Structure 1
């Protein structure tokens, strides 16, 4: 029973973390635009945050291996609470940039939650726990944008949202106190840990991971990784540009922007839960996954055209449904295709490499979108999202023809 309670503490931390992110997600970029920032400024802000997240993930992971999950979680959550409070107090774009870099460096709550689950449960029970943790987190991301949109409509609404977000991190600090310290192999030497030893551990882990990746025959997987990259770029363009696009094109308030983002998440969750039935009904003989991927890429490309030509917000919402469905199918099925090709001892490395590919897509997209937005306007940014899925559909046709030869 004690173990079950600890797991629910981890699930609650995951929920509150993505709830906090959901509160801020639709507000930050429009806020920067209101302060006088250009599309390029918004793009640099998004790209630099993603880059720092990718680079510091292994560092925070190594730190938690050495000092323990509880210690690292308490410290990182405290810094996050301070940063979000300061984010609401400042009107300087430069200070916002600095605070976002700090948050990008230390905010890896979801990663530490997954590590906690691995510490608490045996291997055979971890998959179900990861699924539950992800489900609670997605629920937070559905609720967050709606509530954040309503609060932001008040006078000094952005400040109140930042304060509320900071309070959520304080709540997670209190919850973390209920998680016991799990001993690590470094406990006896914890007082002698230095930055050099931490970086040395990170360096060894990096080299070990690199050796594992070098063993994989990447000629087999290049097409799947390219498909995931194209899908990641298109989805990232829509997600990072959507708040500014809806505000500038349809004059939508933050409340309705929040509802839009939550609606997109709900459709994605429903589609994910229905994937088994969708496959059984329409794709029984699609054993190599290519037909599902091809149809999804075509639908996504058509939806991106639909976003650009939508005459009103109601048509935009209608197009949003197949876009969310196709992006969810691509996220699941491209991973299924990769795993189906892999050997048992390659699955972990492939999963990690796949996450890196998606991170690269999230890194380059905000910057490129900012440049396109400043030169051609925000409408052109949404239109540019159709190019990657169009290329992805041609790649699927090539792979299908190649498999028949």
Structure 2
């Protein structure tokens, strides 16, 4: 009997792995389609007759909508479930890009950007879904692979978009192609094997012995030599399994509950995150987001002024850094297994990022810029994964959509602040933006040095209670 139940659980775990691989494909296609459009937007707005000021206002519309909708949509995915919220975001994003392909005036262009700005949160929901499907110890590895797949799409998309641009009506072809990609993603999400992998709550309530035996056999967490004595590590793993079962609860929330009920649930979850003691993590995210954006803000102009590099060579350098950032996603899993302590890894990656920004600002030659770009892509990729994982650890995976959405809103604030700070600091020097980035990164390091000991004390207290 136990063998039959273990075999059933193994099939469900195998189905979850299939979902994870499909989510990687969704992430790749998502950014592949979006990156086809992004380089063409400013040119299309100007072609429609917009002045530079109007073009700037139109361009900021998307960021403002993302700022206010990220947390709400992420929380809504906690309430109604990942499947239906992800489908809604994909379909409405497809609608937005389809309208973009029909935009022949500024008014239609703005209308097309509204559904995209409000509902283009498919990647955030994918990350929340991945956090639901894996154990806490596996989460950095899976998130790193997902980020790598998405980054590859972002690298390849502009190549295809550039090819379409050379054709007659290239912008419209790119827009409709992007809309078709989102429709394909929606179809893929709809056909995922949800029924065989997302177990009913009653299916998770097996007896402790059976559940433990199945997990021990198929998750490589067996008690060696038949010993039943629990070490501290085994207690932590048992707590992780309990937390893993708790993650399934979002699936039983009915999609068709009254709108006011969904709104109430969303509001309560957002209030829970807003009133939690996670301000330090969100502040570190904001400081590092602005610092990294300042690094890239005037990169091409600074290379031309400081080293007389041609735009073509600068483009190669940026592509090289982006490719390394994508490949660095595969390093996240091994690095986190080496460190074990995610907070320490975040601190060290932040220190490394701060040092690299300083070296870039003071670089006497292009070769030093090339060296800093190499390690900068790796450190920022690891840092982003660390901060997301720590937010989920401290906030609880039952609200992973809300937490990831809140993190995206914080990053959106950085996107608003970074261009302003970059413009002001460039008045003094081409190295002004990265120099200011060093100051912000140092502030993040100081904050981590103060707060991490308090996080460790809380973690020790929780472990003692277990």
Name the TM-score, length of structure 2 as normaliser. 0.62
**Counterpart of 2:174?**
161
Question: In 1, are the aligned partners of 2:24 and 2:149 still within 8 Å (CA)?
Answer: yes
The alpha carbon displacement at 1:17 in A equals 1.0
**Counterpart of 1:186?**
253
Of the three residues 392, 410, 424, the one matched with 1:360 is: 410
The alpha carbon displacement at 1:13 in A equals 1.4
**Counterpart of 1:199?**
263
2:270 is paired with a residue whose SS is: helix
Q: Mean Cα displacement is larger for which, 161-170 or 324-333?
A: 324-333
Q: C-alpha offsets along residues 274-305 of structure 1, whole Å, 9 cap, x if unaligned? A: 689999xxxxxxx7976764553243245357
**Counterpart of 1:71?**
84
**Counterpart of 2:232?**
none
The alpha carbon displacement at 1:85 in A equals 2.2
The alpha carbon displacement at 1:155 in A equals 3.0
The alpha carbon displacement at 1:140 in A equals 1.4
Task: Kindly indicate whether residue 158 of structure 2 is the aligned counterpart of residue 145 of structure 1.
Answer: yes
The alpha carbon displacement at 1:233 in A equals 1.3
Q: Mean Cα displacement is larger for which, 382-391 or 12-21?
A: 382-391
Question: In 2, are the aligned partners of 1:146 and 1:262 still within 8 Å (CA)?
Answer: no
**Counterpart of 2:99?**
86
Question: In 2, are the aligned partners of 1:145 and 1:261 still within 8 Å (CA)?
Answer: no
- Structure 2 CA distance for aligned equivalents of residues 273 and 169 of structure 1: 25
5 Å-filtered alignment, 1:33-72, equals 33=46, 35=48, 37=50, 41=54, 43-45=56-58, 47-72=60-85
- Unaligned 5+ runs, structure 1: 280-286
- Unaligned 5+ runs, structure 2: 1-10, 201-250, 337-343, 453-466
Task: Kindly indicate whether residue 291 of structure 2 is the aligned counterpart of residue 234 of structure 1.
Answer: yes
2:39 is paired with a residue whose SS is: coil
Of the three residues 181, 191, 208, the one matched with 2:272 is: 208
**Counterpart of 1:392?**
441
**Counterpart of 1:129?**
142
Aligned CA distance change for structure 1 residues 391 and 205 (closer, same or farther; 3 Å): closer
- How many correspondences in the alignment? 378
Name the TM-score, length of structure 1 as normaliser. 0.69
- Structure 2 CA distance for aligned equivalents of residues 344 and 206 of structure 1: 17
Q: C-alpha offsets along residues 40-63 of structure 1, whole Å, 9 cap, x if unaligned? A: 555544544234224323433344
**Counterpart of 1:12?**
25
Of the three residues 301, 316, 324, the one matched with 1:267 is: 324
Aligned CA distance change for structure 1 residues 357 and 5 (closer, same or farther; 3 Å): closer
Q: C-alpha offsets along residues 321-380 of structure 1, whole Å, 9 cap, x if unaligned? A: 62463254256358869999x99756879998798567435335446627976x999998
1:26 is paired with a residue whose SS is: helix
Larger Rg: 2
- Structure 1 CA distance for aligned equivalents of residues 428 and 169 of structure 2: 29
1:235 is paired with a residue whose SS is: helix
- Structure 1 CA distance for aligned equivalents of residues 92 and 44 of structure 2: 22
2:252 is paired with a residue whose SS is: coil
Question: In 2, are the aligned partners of 1:29 and 1:42 still within 8 Å (CA)?
Answer: yes
Task: Kindly indicate whether residue 396 of structure 2 is the aligned counterpart of residue 329 of structure 1.
Answer: no
Aligned CA distance change for structure 1 residues 39 and 388 (closer, same or farther; 3 Å): farther
The alpha carbon displacement at 1:161 in A equals 1.6
1:130 is paired with a residue whose SS is: helix
- Structure 1 CA distance for aligned equivalents of residues 98 and 117 of structure 2: 16
- Structure 2 CA distance for aligned equivalents of residues 396 and 299 of structure 1: 14
Q: Mean Cα displacement is larger for which, 388-397 or 152-161?
A: 388-397
RMSD: 5.0
Aligned CA distance change for structure 1 residues 103 and 245 (closer, same or farther; 3 Å): farther
**Counterpart of 2:7?**
none
The alpha carbon displacement at 1:166 in A equals 1.3
5 Å-filtered alignment, 1:296-375, equals 296-303=353-360, 319=369, 322-323=372-373, 325-326=375-376, 328-330=378-380, 332-333=382-383, 345=394, 356=406, 359-366=409-416, 369=419
The alpha carbon displacement at 1:178 in A equals 1.0
Question: In 2, are the aligned partners of 1:77 and 1:170 still within 8 Å (CA)?
Answer: yes
Q: Mean Cα displacement is larger for which, 100-109 or 82-91?
A: 82-91
